[in-house]
Amino acid sequence: MQSRTAQPIEAVPHALRRRARIWIDLDNTPHVPFFKPIIRELRDRGHKVALSARDAFQVCDMADQAGLDYRKIGRHYGRSRFLKVWGLAWRSLQLLPFVLQKRPTIALSHGSRSQILICNLLGIPTVMLMDYEFAQTPPMVRPRWEIVPDVLQNHALQCKEKSRIRCYRGIKEDVYACDLRRDATLLRQLGIDSRQIIATVRPPACEAHYHHPDSDLLFECFMERLCKAQGVVAVLLPRNKSQEAGFRKRWPHWFTDGKVIIPKEAVDGLNLLWHSDLVVSGGGTMNREAAALDVPVYSIFRGKMGAIDRHLHRKGRMALIESVEEIYTRILFQHRDKSHSPDTRRRPALDDILDRIEEIITVEASQRR
């Protein structure tokens, strides 16, 4: 569909290009590595970028490690639907002083509902990057513009006007896969013997609206199998401290003999994945990060499967685990060849996204004239 394909920024007359004040809201853990190269490149292109971050999951810890200068605003309010709605409204109000101080000309996020809500109320153009077509978006938090992987171009998305949807090549994890810096000291810090088979495990997102209880069952069965396997160690990455506490209370035997390691602080996710022999995850981002690095990855996500994951599965870059039986028959505990260097070439996704953002800035500026 041609209307969803961006006009190259080079085709926009130079005199019409505008430098913008861009507000980026880091709302969830994957947003930090994703936006880090985007922030760097936008500033290199002459734009002013202001950052806010929600105190949820490991957002702030990762932003600190990445050296990002941000304002911490709001937090996560739990699993309850009522609290989610209340938290959305409250955080939007908390963002108001930041918005009035920074006076952004455009707002950018990967699905920050609170940012979109306050900007819609104030008339600030919003750009939402998105890669899961089944995300629930109430009318008041629909973005003005949307940028998505080209795999999604024929799916029902959030923008009412299809002419405001832009696409980029690849997947969002391609944006920062080139930032991988291989460092074997991570394994020593975690107390892992490199001769062991290393499985990185991400539990299901039990507080997300797309959560399905079957994912929990598959996760528990996999962990039980792993704990009985010889020469295998798991690096378990809970989504928050509450989830970690629940695991330790319910399954204390997972943690008795060093078979399961939970890092004490946020780690470099790409580096950890590169040193892993396999990845098992109940969420989307870590699965796709592993696929971007060509690391064997098994998805135990059992909610509505998005087009990106179905695409990676068809290409043989991700295995979908759909039953307890497949936990035992399809997931392989075997060493992966890590002797070669990872592919850290810059991929088209980053430049595509930057060009789409600048095109939107130019369009919005011309409409205000």
Which of left, alpha, beta for 55 (phi over 0: left; psi -120 to 50: alpha)?
beta
Between CA 288 and CA 292 the distance in angstroms is 6
Element (H, E) at 107: strand 106-109
Give me the sign of the Cα torsion angle 302, 308, 314, 318.
negative
DSSP 295: -
- pLDDT at 84 (0 to 100): 79
- Model pLDDT, residue 304: 85
> pLDDT tens across 317-338, in order?
999 999 999 999 999 999 999 9
Residue 346 is predicted with a pLDDT of 92
CB 196 within 8 A of CB 54: no
Q: What is the DSSP string of 216-261?
A: HHHHHHHHHHHHHSTTEEEEE--SSHHHHHHHHHH-GGGGSSSSEE
- The mean pLDDT of the chain is 90
Local confidence band at 76 (pLDDT 50, 70, 90 cut-offs): confident
Place of tokens 């709001």: 74
H or E stretch covering 285:
helix 285-292
Residue range 87-124, pLDDT digits in tens:
899 999 999 999 999 999 999 999 999 999 999 999 99
For the cut 60, the answer to whether the pLDDT of residue 232 exceeds it is yes
Would the pLDDT of 309 be above 90? yes
Local confidence band at 156 (pLDDT 50, 70, 90 cut-offs): low
Q: What angle do CA 73, 76, 78 make, to 5 degrees?
A: 160
> Do 350 and 115 contact (CB within 8 A), yes or no?
no
Domains of the chain: 2-177+347-368 (3.40.50.2000), 185-329 (3.40.50.2000)
| Across 16-20, 218-222, 266-270, 356-360, least confident range | 16-20
Beta bridge partners of 281: 202, 299
pLDDT top residue among 322 and 81: 322
**CB-count burial class (<10 Å; 0-12, 13-18, 19+) for 99:** buried
pLDDT at 17: 60
Please give the Cα distance from 275 to 263 (Å, whole number).
15
75 DSSP β-pair partners: 55
The pLDDT > 70 percentage for the chain reads: 93
Percent of the chain with pLDDT over 90: 73
Q: Which helix (H) or strand (E) holds 106?
A: strand 106-109
- List CB contacts of 78: < 8 A, sequence separation 6 or more: 84, 87, 207
Q: Would you state the pLDDT for residue 286? A: 93
Cα angle 187, 331, 169 (rounded to 5 degrees) comes to 80
Q: Is 191 left (phi over 0), alpha (psi -120 to 50) or beta?
A: left
What mean pLDDT is predicted for residues 351-366? 95
Determine which helix (DSSP H) or strand (DSSP E) holds 177, and give its type and residue range: helix 174-177
Q: Which of the four pLDDT bands, split at 50, 70 and 90, describes residue 260?
A: very high
